[in-house]
Each structure stands twice: as C-alpha cells, then as structure tokens.
Amino acid sequence: MPWFGLGVFKVQDGEEVYNSVKWALEHGYKSIDTAAIYRNEEGVGKAIKDSGTPREELFITSKLWNGDQGYEETFQAYQASLDRLGLNYLDLYLIHWPVPEQDKYRESWQAMEELYNDGKIRAIGVSNFKEHHLDRLLEKAEITPMVNQVEYHPHLQQKSLHDYCKKHNIQLEAWSPLKQGELLTDETLTEIAERHGKSTAQIILRWDLQQEVITIPKSVKQQRIHDNADVFDFELTNAEMKLIADMNKDDRVGADPDEMNNR
C-alpha cells in the first residue's frame, strides 16, 4: 500500500472529483481513497479509466457505509461500489464506522473475510475503530484488519491506539491529517516550515510519514495536490518531531466513534 494518496471526502461527484483524481494520477499518485457515502465513486472511476494508468499500478480504497452493514448486505454494498467505480476488484475495503448502536460490524467483517479469501479484495480493514472495537472484532475474526483509518493529526495523535495497532500489525492511516485546514496557520508548524522552506501542510504530512502513518490529504486544487506530495525530499529532526508531539490535545473535528450511529 502506498504511504501517500489522495482522499476525496466531500469532493463533489462529476467535474470536481474527476479533476482532482485526474491531476493526482498525472502527478504520480497511485492511491485514491473514496467511500460509498461520499457519493463520488462514479467520478473517481471515470477519472481512473480516462487516466490510462494501468489498473495494477493503482491502489483504490472504498468503504462500507453504516446502513449497509450486515453479512448479506456487505456483499451487495461491495458490488455496488465496484459497479460505480467500474472496477473488477478493490485494493482495500474498509468498514467505515463501528456504529455501536447497530452492532453489526462483526457480521460485516465475516463477509469481508470471504470477499478477501475469494480474491475480490486485495486487503481488508476498518476505519474509526478504537481499541475496544478492535478487541471485540478480533474475538471472532479469522483475519486481523490490515488497516485502521482514523482521524489523526498533531491535535489528535491517538498514541495508545497507534501502539495497539503496531502490536497487532495493523497499519494506521490518517484521515483529515491537516485537521480540515485548521492547523495550517499554527505558529509552531509555520516556524518549522520556514526552516525547511516548505509549507505547513508539507510539514504535517511529513510528520505523518515519519510516524509510520499512511496519509491521504484531500484537495480540489491542482497546485495543492502537487505540493502535498512534495514531502519525500526532506526529514524532520528529532527535536521538531518532539515539538509536534507536544501539540496533542485529543481534539477531534470528526465524530467520536463511540457516538457515531448515523445510517
């Protein structure tokens, strides 16, 4: 799985998502992350098709929405995402939220294990799962989730969850790595950026990578999509990493997974 990719949360289907994915692929991105609830899988799929990039070179992720959870429902939802994307397999399929009131994620996981064993998905994982959700999933799972995609940025570092995932060989992946733009004017980060001749966004994304966290920043602007990927030619010092580590506030911009029950 690539360490860096493009997220398309809240990117409108049609021209906006088509252009975002097209520009990313033209710039050498290989990983694109979408979801059924984003309602832009068709646009993502069209951009992939029109790009001419060989399918085997790409890593495409989508997610099972809350209202589609359940054993039989998961098979149907997976096929619907595949049809919208115009693909014949996914590289990664995630359970989008644990949805505690519904309590169907273990049934959904059983179906995802079957899809994986049948070769219809190259990797399976979860999104927004805390340690206790993972514990409960692993009680019956035959396959350990390969990825856990969670809100992760300097103000929400989730160290205990990161340590848990490392212990269980689950790759942590960051959504909203820039905290929806809120961190771009942070004084600590802008000072570090000035020292490196980089943007604040590039500092945050580089921090993710040095934390061994996969990151998928979203943008609909061509230059920013290009700039976001320009994070492989420098390294943050241990002192800079410590400064960023000290920024943690356990502050979310998204829902708490224990309280997210939308369907």
Kindly name the residue from 29, 38, 93, 164 that is annotated as catalytic: 38
Q: Give the chain as a 3 state SS string.
A: CCCECEECCCCCCCHHHHHHHHHHHHCCCCEEECCHHHCCHHHHHHHHHHHCCCHHHCEEEEEECHHHCCHHHHHHHHHHHHHHHCCCCECEEEECCCCCCCCCHHHHHHHHHHHHHCCCECCEEEECCCHHHHHHHHHHCCCCCCEEEEECECCECCHHHHHHHHHCCCEEEEECCCHHHHHHHCHHHHHHHHHHCCCHHHHHHHHHHHCCCEECCECCCHHHHHHHCCCCCCCCCHHHHHHHHCCCCCCCCCCCCCCCCCC
d(CA 250, CA 190): 21
Does 93 participate in catalysis according to the annotation? no
Residue 200, classified by CB atoms within 10 Å of its CB into exposed (0-12), middle (13-18) or buried (19+), is buried
* Active site (catalytic) residues: 38
